[in-house]
Structure 1
Amino acid sequence: MTPKFTVYVLDPYHPDAIKLLQSDPNIKTILPTDPAQTCWHAHADGIILRSETVLSAKDFSQAKKLKVVVKQGVGVDNIDLDAARKHGVAVHNTPALNSESVAELCMALTLALSRRICEIDRAIRKGQRVVRSQVLGVSMFRKTVGVIGMGNIGKVVAQKWLGAFECRILGFDPVAPKDAWNDVKHDRVWCLDELLKQSDLVTLHVPLLESTRGMIGEEQFKDMKMTAILVNCARGGVVDEAALLHALKEGQIWGAVLDAMETEPPTLESYGDLLALENVIMTPHVGASTVENQCRSGTVVIDTLLKVLNEETAPGKVC
């Protein structure tokens, strides 16, 4: 049987997802390692990708046959959606699938910072003597957690802090419906500064939009407690990184953990000043990077792609 569609895999995917794609006789699969990758503009009916690849307006204008792009994960800021609409290309993502793994990382990073685990580990590896009275951590038990962004990931994060540490949850989201999280014990606040002033932990779960770019900046750090921790496992650009560096150096907040930065992956060249601080932990956007999640979300991407190519209703439609 001659394949009906040619699909280009532009970024690495879990082997189970690739196996599922290759098992369909109607699909010709071009993998990232195939030299034919450079010709996708001329031949691709469908594309699957992750955050590594950027699709620009020029890419869409050159794509001769492209019908659908499916992005693993929620964020689609690496895809020019206006250009996709202009050229009649459907764009889908995989909402809600990353919630558990991202929430796990948020909690893991927060606890690693609050209990100074990385700092102590580095000292031991250097052969330094660690005096316990001089490396006191901060307990999260019954603290106030401010969740900015009341979507799927934010909800799972809230549930974890509630269940594990009996925390008080504050939720802020100017666009979420009034009945959002009606099954989660929380207090809804309608002003960001109100959340910032009360929270011991501020955790971000918003997309990168013009309305959210730099939403945590100089003025917001002034509102936060000196004992507060900032967590960004959402998107780079939501936090003003120059203002964050200043806030940390001046002791305006207790510390920060970042899994999302404006420059990814983080390097010493780009983030040497932040990485020199003991009260900062950075990871290279690995919130969704568990074996289980990559397998599950990868197979959902393939299922979505095949449905769209076969003109069936598919989940996660962005445009």
Structure 2
Amino acid sequence: MRPHEIDFSTFEGGIFTDLMPYQYGREVCAPAHAFGPARRSHYLFHYILSGSGVFTTISDEGERIDYPLHAHEGFLIFPTQITTYIADMADPWEYIWIEFDGVQVKSVLDNLGVSTVHPVYRAHDEAAREDMAASMRALLDERDASPFVLVADTYRFIDGFARSCTPYRAAQTGKLHGFYVDEALVYIDENYVADIGVEDIARHIGLNRSYFGKVFKEAMGVSPQQFLIGYRMEKAAELLKLSALSVAEVGRAVGYPNQLHFSRAFKNVHGVSPRAWRHAHAGSVSSGAEITPVSST
């Protein structure tokens, strides 16, 4: 590929709730080529094959944060986050990307500590990193394959990403604390549909509630209760977008047998009622790489 050259495809294989790609591509950028500011509808990951550039985000406090990045590093854009990225003038980057989403994504990222505050990808396992990159290339090479093959490539991508990504919690907590938090995250993922609370999670991992809350917040940046509610509401948002379940059925599916309590919790997290959220996101499943650009690409 030659500068400025781009190769990409969109996924036309229907809806896969747990994990699915939306678009995937590869680009050799010209010097100082910029994209953004722009907002995405789904998660978008860029892996840098060669060269360098700068990824820029805006913090919740309105502060601009620049991340200079190089070959074998990457950056993850979160849904609705406004970002800009620009290729280096002297050594412009070439990257490969995948836009993806699904109900399993947030738990994977939460477990790694990857967030809008920590969006940079750096690998601690070279072999797993190469597995991830190979899966991203395969999506382009196999673009005419069946949807099941392409979704399988996406699962291999997320597996390689998770195995290779340097967890942000690693420097923040000891091994024992990390074990407790990992056990709590697994328990939440497996039981969020039931009527569980923080006391149940603490009891499951063998800690008293107070100490568990301290360990969890140090590692994850939020209290266990905040995380549990947010986790359930993210699952609910995906079900509202990707299924035809009624609001009451969605509530029961994420551990809220009372529809009123569910609607109130959902609005506290997302700012709108479940019905309003579903209406606002109607049609987004099949829209491919939906973006809201503020400047030209």
The TM-score with structure 2 as length reference comes to 0.23
Q: When you count strand as a share of all residues, which structure comes out higher?
A: 2
Q: What TM-score do the two structures reach when normalised by structure 1?
A: 0.22
Q: Which has the higher helix share?
A: 2
